[in-house]
Chain A
Amino acid sequence: MPRQFTLPDLGEGLTEAEIVAVLVREGEVVGEDAPLLEVETDKAQVEIPSPIGGRVEKIHVAPGQTVKVGAVLVTFADNGGPAAAPAAAARPAPAPPGSTGPPPARGSAPGAGPVAATPATRRLARELGVDLRAVRGSGPGGRVLDTDVRGAAGARPAPAASEARPQPAAATREPATGGPAKPLAGLGLEPPPLPRFEQWGPVERQPLSHLRRTIAERMTLSATLIPHVTHFDRADITELDAIITRNFEPARARGVTLTLTAFLLKAAALALRAHPEFNASLDPAAGELILKRYYHLGIAVATPRGLIVPVLRDVDGKPVLEIGRELGALAQRVRDGRAALDDLRGGTFTITNVGALGGTAAIPIINYPEVAILGVARARQEPVVREGQIVPRLMLPITLTFDHRVADGADGARFATAIVSLLEAPERLIGDLG
């Protein structure tokens, strides 16, 4: 059976990409992970590797063409090899919950006609976001009861983890405390119409770029959906700054530009390990918190086209020097528009450092569906009282903005304090730097 490979989800809310180059020919046999195509999104130019090994039967796209996520790019001929994994898009949809029960009652065509449920039960299903057609009714004559709907709402599977990721041994669920999980209520918001500005003076309409629109949509989503709370603090980085200054040249000799950001990443990753609820995503439909046992940190990068957030993997386990090295290379790829797909997705927490541009504090918007974001402004020499004496210290203002659905003010304060403590005791960050 031939298999079709479709344009995968590019992450970051991107929905389409332009084909830059086709790197294979029809009839060619390619290995798994061999480069198939080069595509360009508004964020980056990326290579798309082949999901399977096999013979390319047909190429459906040509350079210059813009394709949507889900569009068929390449058809592979069947190589009969049992080892070949099916293309991601060809995977059958998971069976709906409850579908393993006995077949539907004789005489009623499945999916035809109204679902047998009272109006009150149907309203409950809408409230809980449950598709009644996917629920097997346990009532007389197959009637769907309130209990069936609540059961279906609680049993909805959480989104599957990325298939590339080995199951972490530590991924045990936090003990549930309130019975079966239930989805949160939806929003149903709609922006009100704009006034006609022309009545007050001339106006000009500019279409938004793809990236601008993506940012706008994701910021609206996050700001609308997530109740944001911000905690303010300051870290005394006098000592850390001295360490950076002392090690700057030796690091450069090893090809690394040592920056404060590398230390921020390390400090945040270590603090996240101790405060896992900030390294998580809320699943409102399931009523569950998904704790991630990996620490991939995003760094907000301003580019001429707009904001991009590349992601550094497994920050917690890497020495600061290595973080600095990867950060430099990643930033370079982003600026060159050569970032790979995996450079831009999979983040669990984001840091945005606006210090280079000044300011005393910034309250960023959480990078949905993450739980928190660390905002860093410019460090300044300030008079600080130490043991009764006023001394000049280099103070770094930070803000921790987090999802109040997931954590409370006290949790945020503790997590922010953990980051500050790490930055103020840099020896805990650099054991291996010398």
Chain B
Amino acid sequence: MVMGDMVDEVDVAVVGGGPGGYSAAFRCAELGLETVVIDADARLGGACLFEGCIPSKALLHVAAVVSEAERAKEWGVDFGEPRISLDPLRKWKQERVVGKLARGLASVAKARGVTVVGGRAVFEDSSTVRIEGDALRKVRFKHAIVATGSAPSPLPGEALRSERVMDSTAALELPEIPERLLVIGGGYIGLELGTVYATLGSRVTLVEMTEGLLPGVDRDLVQPLQRRVDRLFAAIHLRTKVTGLREAGDRIEAVLEGQDPQAFDRVLVAVGRRARSGGLGLEATRARLTDRGGFIQIDDRCRTGDPHIYAVGDVTGEPMLAHRAMRQGKVAAEALAGRPAAFDNVAIPAVVFTDPEIAWCGLSEAQAKAQGIETKVSKFQWAASGRAATIGRADGLTKLVADAGSGRVIGVGIVGLGAGELIAEATLAVETAALVEDVAATIHAHPTLSETLMEAAENLLG
């Protein structure tokens, strides 16, 4: 960077150090562009690493070990009752998992010459961003990439401010294991964190406004998870709203629509996430927000209405997934460097890291129908899988959606242990326009759960 008049001049200013931001910055640096990342917390990793994907998966792994030990009793192996110590657990999550990965990202940035600056970034115009941090400074850029991500949505209406009412960020800190926990929201965040707390010993009550868990996901994929959480959670209330929350001593009294008030030790609000597009000074640029959701509007090169400003990740819309942001970050970096890049991906995998996991990519059966595509659908129940039998987890299903005319794989959904890993092969098939026959004729190792996709494909060929 060239210093002068307190203004740094760079090729690319990346606003936000999450997966979208650091992927973009690293790619820019690879392409020889001088790049600075401006992050409110002066670090790379973002919500994903510090308050999302990574810490939640660490805790879910702990929950899986506890459940597995419990199930081992059926096989004649008894470890006794688990004794959970929160301090070492928190320390492991924070230092050995999150801390280690954060140090890794910082060293990559250093190796590639990417500078990370702390502070809140505010655009002054299409070529200048002001950084409000420890010291006020400005950065002049040829291009900027906005990657400010998303934040947990609060409950609509007047929110109760109490440390006992947590969002996902607070819940991942694992302040305690509450005796009774109310989870508001039956989406993936509520289910994942509800699973963690329930396994660690909380009595979890889950409330979901719509008529089913994981709205939008095929019901046959949700069913095995539904059966599992029915046993794991104390209660699940569907089609139910929380109409009142108030602090009562060291409890929270919650009113569930049509029921008497109930007392909980803590409440987790997991009703979704919203774009962090406000307060960035974007009105001083030609970038524009969508009317609904306040997302930054971008084209297929991730460029906003302002030719000098790109945007990637959660702040640009659904699906809010780290891996979408990472791909977009690379596209934006290449596009601004003049390369013919485009975010034209067909399949964006989604994974719910519950037990069992649910994962899908491409079109669901319902989406394909809505688009007027004539489909063939094949379902393979894991009860017929040798591998599933050996691990005692027959509660799985692999479902393949194919275009009836061309025989191409256009969507896959999987529920079962390790579905999040299994979906990778399906994503490759959809992205590369593979045929059902291609999947069926590819040798899959035996006995593995990956065979279930091959079996589903074979079923379609008849």
Contacts and interface: CB of A to CB of B under 8 A. Distances in A.
B340 A116 contact: no
Given A107-B406, A109-B371, A119-B345, A188 B432 contact: no
B374 A118 contact: no
- Please report whether the interface of chain A is mostly helix, strand, loop or mixed according to DSSP: loop
B43 to A, nearest CB: 29
A113 B127 contact: no
Interface in A110-156: 112-114, 116-119, 122-123, 126-127, 139-143
B249 interface: no
A186 interface: yes
A141 B346 contact: no
Interface residues of B, number: 33
Nearest to A107: B405
A106 B406 CA distance: 7
A105 B433 contact: no
A187 interface: yes
Given A118-B431, A141-B435, A106 B374 contact: yes
A64 B140 CA distance: 45
B279 interface: no
Contacts of B308: 190, 193
Interface string A83-125: 0000000000000000000001111110011101111001100
Given A114-B344, A126-B340, A108 B405 contact: yes
B408 A119 contact: no
Interface string B394-433: 0000000001111110100000000000000000000111
Given A141-B407, A141-B408, A112 B371 contact: yes
B371 A113 contact: yes
A116 B406 contact: yes
Contacts of B372: 109, 112
Contacts of A187: 338
A143 B375 CA distance: 17
Interface residues of A, number: 30
Contact of B338 (A141, A189, A196): A189
A354 B125 CA distance: 42
Contacts of A201: none
A183 B142 CA distance: 29
Interface in B160-174: none
B433 A117 contact: yes
B126 interface: yes
Contacts of B62: none
B342 interface: yes
B373 A113 contact: yes
B307 interface: yes
A109 B406 contact: no
Contacts of B342: 122, 126
B433 A141 contact: yes
Nearest to A193: B127
Interface of B: 125-127, 142, 307-308, 335, 338-342, 344-346, 371-375, 403-408, 410, 431-433, 435, 437-438
17 contacts: A106-B405, A107-B375, A107-B404, A114-B346, A116-B408, A116-B433, A117-B433, A119-B345, A123-B341, A126-B341, A127-B340, A140-B435, A141-B403, A141-B406, A187-B338, A188-B335, A190-B308
